């Protein structure tokens, strides 16, 4: 590790002393909820979210089962598709990108979208009859996952091509697998929150199925876990990173810029969810900036901090706080997952928030369900009538963003195909404004940065992008994926408006941004 606390020295040094004097390390491992709150109700809720601290014991107990199942699955299937949202799928997305050159046999796909074009596109890439579908949902009731499950179960008659990963006693655990012949069910520890579940069944089962050496990943995670037990704060990687984040926030620097090496760059989307959803509440929070090309030092605003893996930040350290780590191998990913989880918990202590809940996520969900439950709103024409195509999207967006400057940031909320092409077009547009930006594809971002956008500091200008596709029915539902996608967008738009967020909707004529330029 190499830390340069430029501009945050006073808070950084003070917090290390506080952490030592107040025994933060010991109390964290004792699962002492008073670290985050003095309210008995909040403390009880926090204690039910600290199961990830038992990761070391969990991995030893479940490693053999994961290895046996994955060895069998790899012989049976050509493709693996994860149907999941947020913490149930993002860690798998990281594994699939970081290990794609060496492994992926069978090939792993992530489906975390309700966009009809995206669903059809994935379906065209796989052999349905030789694909293993992993239905991943902690609650077992996630609307998007339920819709995708129904869709592919109607396509694949052999239910032994499905497995589920969920908590005990959920509808997904209790009903589906007993009655419908799933190949297997993996019941995760219920006291592990979704975004803290990378080092559990949610991360390891898909990784093992694509051929990732999970035993080595686990070994590296255990090494990090042992280091994070060290009571010497200066030698504890997780606590040092957390104190770095907290000291930066107290110094009015809340834009966490991730500059990873090419190998570890895919980790950014997982860190983004972990930090944004954990800290973005009560008007507070740290916003991760991912997928931003490296800029000149002069282009970075005063509120930036930088964390990197296997990338030098010497050119930035004179004017900005920087934190560098060096990872010897991609199998060190397990250690990185755990280091960031500890750091997130520690930053919550400093911000005096509960980092394990997500109070604003349900607001958009409730709005969506309210719209879908209304018979009037179930008619596609009425849903679409609420959003109208803009004749000149770029002009409208440029007018909306006129005069934007730090500490403001630009949030692009795109209910479009989450393709690399669309990502690149949106990134090119955002870079023109020389402010921190966050590009999220719906509905994925609702389970990630959506919490920060609604619950964090009111510093964003948000552009919601929607479009229309051909309807794609969902078996057993009165509405299809197109209605679901637009309703999710409208539900989130209403939630943002109710919180006085500065947001506009741009309804495009095409899903691929062809009318964007």
Question: Taking a C-beta distance cutoff of 8 angstroms, is the pair 369, 143 a contact?
Answer: yes
Residue 376: pLDDT band with limits 50, 70, 90: very low
Cα(167)–Cα(340) distance, integer angstroms: 23
Residue 257 has pLDDT above 80, yes or no: yes
Q: In the predicted model, what is the mean pLDDT of residues 506-514?
A: 80
pLDDT at 177: 59
CA distance 153 to 119: 14
- pLDDT confidence of residue 157: 85
Neighbours of 267 (CB within 10 A): 25
pLDDT above 80 (res 447): yes
Mean pLDDT of 424-430: 94
Would you say 29 and 54 are in contact if contact means Cβ atoms under 8 Å apart?
A: no
Q: Tell me: the pLDDT tens digits for 324-370?
A: 999 989 999 999 999 999 999 999 999 999 999 988 876 766 777 77
- Separation CA 150–CA 61 (nearest Å): 33
CA angle, 61 then 63 then 66, to 5°: 125
Residue 322 has pLDDT above 50, yes or no: yes
Structural domains of the chain sorted by starting position, each given as residue range(s) with its CATH number in brackets: 2-30+225-351 (3.40.50.10490), 53-212 (3.40.50.10490), 361-508 (3.40.50.10490)
When pLDDT is averaged across residues 474-500 and rounded to a whole number, the result is 92
Q: What is the pLDDT of residue 384?
A: 52
**Residue 381 banded pLDDT, cuts 50, 70, 90:** very low
Q: Is the pLDDT of residue 375 over 50?
A: no
Sheet holding 255-258, edge to edge: 2-4, 322-325, 304-309, 255-258, 287-289
Count of helices and strands (H, E) across the chain:
20, 14
Q: Is the pLDDT of residue 383 over 70?
A: no
- Answer whether residue 247 shows pLDDT above 90: yes
* pLDDT higher than 90, residue 385: no
**Of all helices (H) and strands (E), which one includes residue 133?**
strand 131-136
Q: What is the mean pLDDT of residues 100-121?
A: 85
Q: What is the per-residue pLDDT for 470?
A: 79
Residue 213 has pLDDT above 70, yes or no: yes
Q: In 3D, which of 505, 255, 302 has the Cα closest to residue 400?
A: 505
Confidence of residue 517 (pLDDT cuts 50, 70, 90): low
pLDDT category, 380, cuts 50, 70, 90?
very low
pLDDT score of 435: 95
pLDDT at 386 over 70: no
Q: Is pLDDT larger for residue 400 or for residue 178?
A: 400
Helix H or strand E encompassing 221: helix 214-227
Provide the mean pLDDT of the chain.
91
Phi-psi map region of 236: left, alpha, beta (phi>0 left; psi -120 to 50 alpha): beta
* Residue among 413, 330, 304, 309 nearest 364 (CA): 413
Residue 389: pLDDT above 70? no
Q: What local confidence, expressed as pLDDT, does residue 296 receive?
A: 87
Share of the chain above pLDDT 70, in %: 93
The Cα–Cα gap between 90 and 96 comes to 10
* C-alpha span between 3 and 51 (Å, rounded): 30
pLDDT of res. 174: 74
pLDDT value at position 359? 86
Residue 509: pLDDT band with limits 50, 70, 90 = confident
Q: How confident is the model at residue 516 (pLDDT cuts 50, 70, 90)?
A: low
Mean pLDDT of 117-127: 95
Query: Residue 361's pLDDT is what?
Result: 74
User: What confidence score (pLDDT) does residue 388 get?
Assistant: 60
The arithmetic mean of pLDDT across residues 219-241, rounded, is: 97
Angle between helices 268-279 and 90-98 (to 10 degrees): 160
pLDDT score, position 128: 95
Closest among 476, 375, 377 to 147, alpha carbons compared = 476
Q: What is the reported pTM?
A: 0.95
Give the chain's radius of gyration (CA, Å).
22
């Amino acid at each position: 590790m190499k830390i340069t606390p430029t501009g945050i020295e006073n808070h950084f040094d003070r917090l290390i002393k506080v952490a030592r004097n107040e025994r933060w390390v010991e109390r964290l491992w004792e699962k002492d909820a008073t670290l985050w709150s003095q309210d008995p109700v909040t403390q009880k809720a926090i204690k039910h979210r600290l199961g990830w601290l038992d990761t070391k014991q969990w991995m030893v107990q479940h490693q053999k089962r994961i290895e046996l199942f994955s060895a069998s699955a790899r012989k049976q299937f050509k493709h693996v598709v994860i149907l999941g949202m947020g913490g149930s799928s993002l860690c798998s997305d990281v594994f699939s990108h970081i290990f794609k050159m060496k492994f992926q046999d069978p090939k792993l796909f992530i489906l975390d979208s309700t966009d009809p074009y995206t669903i059809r596109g994935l379906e065209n890439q796989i052999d349905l009859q030789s694909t293993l579908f992993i239905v991943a949902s902690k609650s077992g009731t996630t609307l998007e996952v339920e819709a995708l499950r129904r869709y592919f179960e109607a396509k694949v008659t052999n239910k032994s091509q499905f497995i589920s990963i969920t908590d005990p006693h959920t509808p997904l655990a209790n009903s589906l697998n007993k009655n419908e012949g799933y190949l297997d069910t993996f019941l995760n520890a219920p006291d592990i929150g979704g975004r803290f579940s990378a080092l559990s069944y949610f991360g390891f089962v898909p990784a093992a199925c694509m051929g990732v050496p999970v035993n080595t990943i686990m070994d590296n995670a255990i090494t990090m876990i042992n280091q994070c037990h060290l009571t010497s704060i200066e030698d504890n990687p997780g606590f040092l990173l957390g104190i770095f984040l907290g000291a930066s926030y107290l110094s009015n620097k809340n834009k966490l810029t991730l500059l990873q090496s090419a190998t570890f760059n895919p980790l950014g989307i997982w860190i983004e969810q972990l930090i944004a959803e954990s800290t973005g509440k009560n008007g507070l929070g740290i916003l991760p900036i991912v997928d931003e090309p490296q800029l000149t030092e002069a282009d970075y605003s005063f509120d930036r901090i930088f964390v990197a893996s296997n990338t030098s930040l010497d050119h930035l350290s004179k004017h900005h706080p920087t934190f560098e780590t060096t990872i010897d191998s991609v199998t060190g990913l397990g250690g990185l997952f755990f280091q960031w989880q500890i750091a997130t918990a520690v930053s919550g202590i400093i911000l005096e928030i509960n980092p394990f809940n997500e109070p604003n996520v349900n607001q958009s969900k409730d709005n969506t369900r309210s719209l879908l439950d209304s018979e009037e709103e179930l008619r596609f024409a009425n849903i679409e009538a609420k959003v109208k195509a803009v004749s000149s999207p770029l002009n409208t967006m440029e007018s909306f963003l006129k005069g934007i400057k730090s500490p403001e940031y630009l949030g692009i909320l795109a209910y479009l195909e989450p393709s690399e092409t669309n990502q690149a077009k949106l990134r090119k547009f955002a870079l023109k404004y020389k402010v921190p930006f966050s590009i999220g594809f719906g509905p994925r971002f609702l389970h990630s940065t959506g919490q920060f956008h609604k619950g964090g500091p009111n510093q964003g200008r948000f552009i919601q992008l929607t479009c229309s596709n051909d309807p794609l029915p969902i078996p057993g539902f009165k509405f299809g994926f197109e209605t679901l996608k637009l309703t999710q967008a409208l539900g989130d738009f209403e939630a943002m408006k109710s919180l006085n967020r500065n947001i506009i909707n741009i309804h495009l004529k095409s899903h691929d941004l062809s009318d964007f330029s």
